[in-house]
Structure 1
């Protein structure tokens, strides 16, 4: 996923269908300088991760 699309999704009030390794996630914040995003699984919102944007897939 590119940085601009990830930012659009993170700022949108509408939940997008995005996955990380097949798991539905929510994008909390996008870090442009490192091409990463702070995410959490919709099944486990207490476990936050920072992952490379290229691992995120929009369906």
Structure 2
């Protein structure tokens, strides 16, 4: 995924299916470096992690 698409998803009110390594995630924010984003797993787990934007996939 590219940085511009991450920005679009963050500003959208729609629920957009994004995956990291095949796992559904919510994008919390685009980090200041512009290369990574903070995400958390969809569901009950609220653990947040930083991942490279290029590793995110929209379905």
TM range (shorter): 0.7 to 0.9
8 Å Cα contact 2:18-2:58 kept in structure 1: yes
2:57 partner SS: strand
What TM-score, normalized by structure 2, do the two folds share? 0.87
Corresponding residue of 2:41: 41
Q: Where do 5+ consecutive residues of structure 1 fail to align?
A: none
What TM-score, normalized by structure 1, do the two folds share? 0.87
Q: Where do 5+ consecutive residues of structure 2 fail to align?
A: none
Instruction: Kindly tell me the number of residue pairs found equivalent between the two proteins.
Output: 59
Deviates more, 1:45-54 or 1:28-37: 28-37
Alignment RMSD: 1.4
Corresponding residue of 1:14: 14
Deviation of 1:25 (Å): 0.6
Corresponding residue of 1:25: 25
1:43 partner SS: coil
